[in-house]
Structure 1
Amino acid sequence: MVMWRKKSSGGESPSRGAGVHEDEKVPRGHVPMVAGCEGEGERVLVPVRLLSDPSIAELLDMAAQWYGYGQPGVLRVPCDAEHFRRVVDGAMQRCGISSA
């Protein structure tokens, strides 16, 4: 299951996870990520099983090149949300995970 949510750019503390509020729990087995360059983006919960998919790993490498390995808060992936959505959907199909 992948959940998409528009991330606002205002008033977040980096120590709180860039948009993760106390009442927003991350389900076990998921990693929160934000797709989009600086400012706004979409927050997505990605199943941990997808992190080994080559297309997701490529985006993670790109994130490391753009932002380094010490990103505070939620992991930001430097691509537009629509592209990230297509990559995640493709990885889910290859791993046999339902998107519902």
Structure 2
Amino acid sequence: MIRSFVGKIEKSVSLFVHRRPQIVVSDDIREGYFAVLATKVEESKRFIVGLNFLNDPAFLGLLDQAQEEFGFRQKGALAIPCQPQELQKILDRSGV
């Protein structure tokens, strides 16, 4: 009885794993990183940012601004409403 139950769970997990959508990532983005587009007025620049910045208070503030301005339905690179120089300063000084 337990063997049958375990078999059903393994089959369900196997189906779930194989049905996951494939995530397409650009060739220049390694595991543990994501793309961010810093854009303000007519100036924009693409950055590749490490997941460790998700613990940085200044970066999290920019994510809050992005959510307020653009919402959660962004596709592709994450757009952040700031000057590229502002994001570069955060990335340069972060001790994360």
Structure of higher RCO (CA pairs closer than 8 Å, 6+ residues apart): 1
Matched-pair contact (CA < 8 Å) for 2:43–2:84 = no
Structure 1 CA distance, aligned partners of 2:72 and 2:41? Answer: 17
Q: Report the equivalent of 2:71.
A: 68
Which residue in the other structure is 1:87 paired with?
A: 90
Amino acid at match of 2:78: L
Superposition CA RMSD, Å: 2.1
* Structure having the larger proportion of residues in helix: 2
**Runs in 1 of length 4+ with deviation above 3 angstroms?**
none
Q: Work out the number of aligned pairs and report it.
A: 73
Equivalent of 2:45 in 42, 49, 52:
42
Question: TM (normalized to structure 1)?
Answer: 0.64
Q: TM-score, normalised by structure 2?
A: 0.67
Q: Which has the larger radius of gyration?
A: 2
How high is the sequence identity, in percent, across the aligned residues? Answer: 27
For structure 2, the residue ranges without an aligned partner over 5 or more in a row are 1-23
